Structure 1
Amino acid sequence: MKEFGYERVFDVSGALALAGADSGARYLGGGTNLVDLMKAGVERPTSLVDVRELPLDAIEAAEGGGLRIGATVTNSDLAAHPEVRRNYPALTQAVLAGASGQLRNMATVGGNLLQRTRCGYFTDVTKPCNKRVPGSGCPAIEGEHHNHAVLGASGHCVAIHPSDMGVALTAFDAVVSYETAEGPGELPLTEFYLPVGDTPHLETALPPGALITGVTLPPAPVAAFSRYRKVRERASYAFAIGSIAAALDVRDGVVRDVRLAFGAVASRPWRARAAEAVLTGASADAETFAAAADAELAAAEPLPHNGYKVALMRNLVVAVLTELAEEATR
């Protein structure tokens, strides 16, 4: 590992000052992704600004309803919080589906959103990778890509975003709050991650040096009737090959409200707007659910070895929405 500086901070202004004084500084929360990448030589910060002790570890009611989740809340505390479990159950399920208990005890909400892809070419510094070294190429396109993107990719990068939590937050219209030296700002999570395009090394819309301070979940009655389903290659701790966060409000057999987001299919958690449009106001049955999935997946551009994801996601949509619709009639 490259030699680096380290300093722990206890207030947001101090964190911003340190990061502003060193363009190579990185914020350190739980370190469950950043430290691994430093060991591999992928990340080479000149200094770490430890933000774990910042007063950003609360989960509380947001003004106007919903929840505000501090950036240093651990994944374990988020999953266990009674209001999250009651009003956003898919978020609890998503967090519990990600990582092991030990990692959830360390990982933070802000850090989870900033975790980087697990593409093997990205994490191996002996290989070219446009995300790591812009302009060096994307060997995954012709190489190992069975768990890579089928939506929103480009000829420059086909890596996927690994977060489970981010999928549920995207489904529920979460908004990310941040601080900079110039003042605070907000980004809807659907705008937080940048499209891949020809600049896959630019991953978020955060301004340089910005510090995530929290995530706000707006009030959404439909979110209380939600589920997260993750498919992985083994039952133990593993990243998804496909996942879905779904919420469904059905009355008299008709879909009154719906939220859908996909995971492990794109460079960011994928909000399924086309599918939602098909579902809203339609009959809550398997035929409609399949049509909604087909509408969203019509834009899929699978590679030779990951085309299975299209069928997988179609089946997930139908299965999870069917379960939610059946529960609504009990």
Structure 2
Amino acid sequence: MVKQNGTSTTDFILLGLFPEFQYTSLLVYLILLAYLVALTGNAILLLLICVDAHLHTPMYFLLSQLSLIDLFYISSSVPNMVFNHVSGKHSISLIGCGVQMFFCLALGGAECLLLTLMSYDRVVAVCDPLRYTVIMNPKVCWLMAVAPWTGGAANSLIQTIYTMHFPVCGLREINHFFCEMPAILKLSCEDTSEYEMVVFMVSIIFILIPFSLIMASYIRIFLTVLRMNSPEGRNKALATCSSHLTVVSLYLGTGIVVYMTPGSSHTPALDQGLSVFYIVLTPMLNPLIYSLRNKEVLGSLRKVLKKNLILK
């Protein structure tokens, strides 16, 4: 195989984050900082859920799955982006690009499905509390944990294989900081409009339907909360659900713009900005939103810190 300047002719070139921006280095290091915050926050949340028996409930079990997905999700692109920027090496192999795309699509799809199942958990907890432990039994919880991973991986495998089969003409430069599917499709010398329609239909299943189900769940929760006589119970239910609703709005809102609007209407800068939002900022904000607005998580953190300080 012919090589040019140490780069295979089948390699792609990742142009990086906002390549025409004057202060790209500052943005990269800010994203690196966000990555470290996301790793720390999600790791702490996972640790608290594991060690504190009070958090061994279906809600926190699903939350631990969200943290796990976020850890892998943000790690699928940010470390490679930072390495490329620091080293000046922007090439990525065909296989490497496909692997990166697979993990990004799989984890993104898994998060969409998991957020939907988490809203169902909240509906049962608020609207049918007496049967909560019966409905959300361990078997159901494990099924709710496995289904998003399985569904996301199956969809991603098909999408990745089909996207990567399109021939690329001319420069193999991806105007992005990672191998995102819409950016790859723009390089194809074939008409991809029919496949983009398939992507739109899949997005309805993984983004629009989950978003609609989540909104319907919260309408039902809101109506139930309004009928509660106890102000304390009403406030607790709203606080728990508002955290989940905030995460949903941040994540699915940007996903709708990226995958459910015509690619021709997107500028590279818009796509990159939205990608930073749902791949970097959402995994960073998730543990902060759930911990800062949740008394049980904060109480568990204080208990663990106090215990460790006493032992020392």
TM-score, length-normalised on structure 1?
A: 0.28
More strand by share: 1
TM-score, length-normalised on structure 2?
A: 0.29
- Of structures 1 and 2, the larger Rg is shown by 2
Considering Cα pairs closer than 8 Å and 6+ residues apart, tell me whether 1 or 2 has the greater RCO.
2
More helix by share: 2
